[in-house]
Amino acid sequence: MSAHDADVIVVGCGPVGVMASLRAAQRGLSVVAVDRDLEIYPLPRAIGMDDEIQRLFQNAGQSDQLSDCSTPMGGAEFLDADGNRVIGMELPPDHRGPSGHYPIVSFDQPSVERFLRAAAVETGVEMRLGAEVTAVTGDQPDTDATVTLRDGTTLRARWIIGADGASSTVRRLIGVVLDDQGFDEPWLVVDTTKLDAELDLGTLAQQHCNPERVVTVVPGHGTRRRWEFQLGEHETRDEMLHPDRIAELLAPWGSPAQLLVDRAAVYRFHATVAESFRRGSVFLVGDSAHQMPPFNGQGMCSGLRDAENLTWKLAQVAHGLAGEALLDTYDLERRPHAAGQVEHAADAGRLINAIAEGGAESYEAGYGGGRSFPHLEAGVVDGSHPRVGHPLPQPSVDGVLFDEHLGDGWAVVGATAPDLGPWADLGAKAVTADPALFPGMLDDGAVVVVRPDRYVSAVTTDLPATTRRILAHFQ
Ligand SMILES: Cc1cc2nc3c(=O)[nH]c(=O)nc-3n(C[C@H](O)[C@H](O)[C@H](O)COP(=O)(O)OP(=O)(O)OC[C@H]3O[C@@H](n4cnc5c(N)ncnc54)[C@H](O)[C@@H]3O)c2cc1C
């Protein structure tokens, strides 16, 4: 009998913890997931999800469920004090991002968490609710990984994933501190349901960079819409949460008869990154590892990238296909990537303020401003091809998205069937593709090595040498 209760204990069943649980279980790990609350938090915080993360839902077998509770967003723009567009873009309904899905959808967070939990349990995750973690071990060398619950129960696992949110108990218990990236602003967030079908609020996310008050407006799923109002220096939480004050703030867009307020809350938007995403056998994912202002809709998306990155590595080690050294690449890959997104989100917030104050030197930090999205610069990646460290583009062939041909693990894609060599032992799949589907990637006999998380590990004409370098991480 195993000395462990599970391969992995996931602490926290928010969106990131539940996705980590589901993906770990889908990859053959035994998982116990615990959450101190009995119910899913009923009100949405995250509202927007990008193309790459919709692809993750596709690969987790959850695309249809996501479609049922999401709505494509028509684009985004920054407006100056006179309401003129400074930067922005429209996204036509048939537009697809590089990962093969609509570039951004709004979604209903509680609905997403509900179907993810159901899928996790169906896949074999043991979910314990009303179970608060009060102690953790495993962060020090040669110590067992355990969590202790408030009722005194101790659970033992090979690894622990701390997905317990911004005030993470796991992070505190393993002594990891947050590095502050220098952004800290109080904002009022108001979610509404549109009651008046005639009221036209458009389909764009908008940053109103008005010196009188900076406001973000985000179309939600269906008839929902979110407003975020920057608080002035002397405005208090209680004053801003008063229904009359909220009605006054919403008045430029609609009356109380037209807009039903579902929730209002004051948040401090800040920008932090944990000094390390790993201590021993304990890993941090999601808000426990990084927090960012919501202007780019990337907080949860970043956490879901953590979950996907970590779980395929844990699975390879658990199945004896790689040594523990592979797990060192989790922090190496994810921390700089997440830090890049935190910086980008904070810069978007600074840009909003700069436009409101009368101008900005550069619009690079804003939507369509041209700054490139972070990619993996180190870790299980090899070579200098510009696609390395980015998700493999996902074309659709005869209505079938390309990932459906890739299988669940590693894949080597070539214009003709690639000779897998050592990749065969890792269960990799050899896939042939028309080079026209992947411009600049499959020319002159080059093949693409694709990781289980769909990131490009290498584009190479010398697969044996590339393989030796990549597999050095697996020792
Ligand atoms: C106003 C706002 C707008 C946002 N918009 C977006 C957006 O559009 N797109 C986007 O990607 N992100 C957005 N975000 C960020 C997003 O909401 C968070 O990044 C995401 O919810 C974090 O998920 P998580 O699973 O890491 O943590 P959480 O959702 O906080 O979940 C943590 C879980 O851990 C549990 N827990 C805590 N402590 C313990 C313990 N000791 N024992 C057991 N369980 C415990 C909690 O009960 C909770 O269920 C937004 C955030 C805000 C505030």
Secondary structure, 3-state, 291-343: ECCHHHCCHHHHHHHHHHHHHHHHHHHHCCCCCHHHHHHHHHHHHHHHHHHHH
Beta-carbon contacts of residue 248 (< 8 Å; ≥ 6 apart): none
Beta-carbon contacts of residue 278 (< 8 Å; ≥ 6 apart): 284, 327, 328, 330, 331
Closest residue by Cα to atom 1, ligand 1, is 45
Residue 2: band (very low, low, confident or very high) from pLDDT cuts 50, 70, 90: low
**Is the Cβ–Cβ distance between 42 and 113 less than 8 Å?**
no
pLDDT in tens, 165-223: 999 999 999 999 999 999 999 999 999 999 999 999 999 999 999 999 999 999 999 99
Residue 371: band (very low, low, confident or very high) from pLDDT cuts 50, 70, 90: confident
Report, as an integer, the average pLDDT of 235-249.
97
Does the beta carbon of 333 sit less than 6 angstroms from any atom of ligand 1?
Answer: no
CA distance 142 to 293: 38
**Is the Cβ–Cβ distance between 305 and 335 less than 8 Å?**
no
Just give the CATH number of 182-270: 3.30.9.10
Pocket test for ligand 1, best of 36, 52, 136, 296 (most atoms within 8 A of CB): 36
Does the beta carbon of 161 sit less than 6 angstroms from any atom of ligand 1?
Answer: no
Determine the distance separating the centroid of ligand 1 and the alpha carbon of 300, expressed in angstroms.
Answer: 7
Determine the distance separating the centroid of ligand 1 and the alpha carbon of 12, expressed in angstroms.
Answer: 9
Q: Which atom of ligand 1 is nearest to the CA of 131?
A: 43
Residue 475, pLDDT score: 86
Q: Which atom of ligand 1 is nearest to the CA of 298?
A: 11
**Is the Cβ–Cβ distance between 326 and 278 less than 8 Å?**
no
pLDDT in tens, 279-326: 999 999 999 999 999 999 999 999 999 999 999 999 999 999 999 999
Beta-carbon contacts of residue 335 (< 8 Å; ≥ 6 apart): 273, 274, 276, 277, 289
Closest residue by Cα to atom 38, ligand 1, is 164
Determine the distance separating the centroid of ligand 1 and the alpha carbon of 303, expressed in angstroms.
Answer: 9
Does the beta carbon of 46 sit less than 6 angstroms from any atom of ligand 1?
Answer: yes
Does the beta carbon of 15 sit less than 6 angstroms from any atom of ligand 1?
Answer: yes
pLDDT in tens, 429-439: 999 999 999 99
Closest residue by Cα to atom 9, ligand 1, is 297
Residue 128, pLDDT score: 98
Determine the distance separating the centroid of ligand 1 and the alpha carbon of 107, expressed in angstroms.
Answer: 15
Does the beta carbon of 10 sit less than 6 angstroms from any atom of ligand 1?
Answer: no
Looking at the predicted structure, is the pLDDT value of residue 56 above 50? yes
Report, as an integer, the average pLDDT of 124-153.
96
Say how many CA atoms lie within 13 Å of 454 toward its Cβ: 28
Does the beta carbon of 220 sit less than 6 angstroms from any atom of ligand 1?
Answer: no
Residue 1, pLDDT score: 37
The CATH fold of domain 6-71+104-179+272-356: FAD/NAD(P)-binding domain (3.50.50)
Q: Hey, what long-range contacts does 193-200 have (CB within 8 A, 24 or more apart)?
A: 193/223, 193/224, 193/259, 193/260, 193/262, 194/223, 194/224, 194/225, 194/254, 194/258, 194/259, 194/260, 195/257, 195/258, 195/259, 195/260, 196/254, 196/257, 196/258, 196/259, 199/254, 199/258, 199/259
Beta-carbon contacts of residue 80 (< 8 Å; ≥ 6 apart): 86, 209, 355
CA distance 308 to 99: 15
Pocket test for ligand 1, best of 19, 45, 173, 304 (most atoms within 8 A of CB): 45
CA distance 349 to 181: 13
CA distance 312 to 379: 14
Does the beta carbon of 267 sit less than 6 angstroms from any atom of ligand 1?
Answer: yes
Residue 394, pLDDT score: 98
Fill in the amino acid letter for 370.
Answer: G
% helix / strand / coil in the chain, to the nearest 5?
Answer: 30, 30, 40
Does the beta carbon of 112 sit less than 6 angstroms from any atom of ligand 1?
Answer: no
Determine the distance separating the centroid of ligand 1 and the alpha carbon of 304, expressed in angstroms.
Answer: 11
Q: Which atom of ligand 1 is nearest to the CA of 16?
A: 25
Does the beta carbon of 129 sit less than 6 angstroms from any atom of ligand 1?
Answer: no
Give the residue extent of every domain in the chain: 6-71+104-179+272-356, 182-270, 396-474
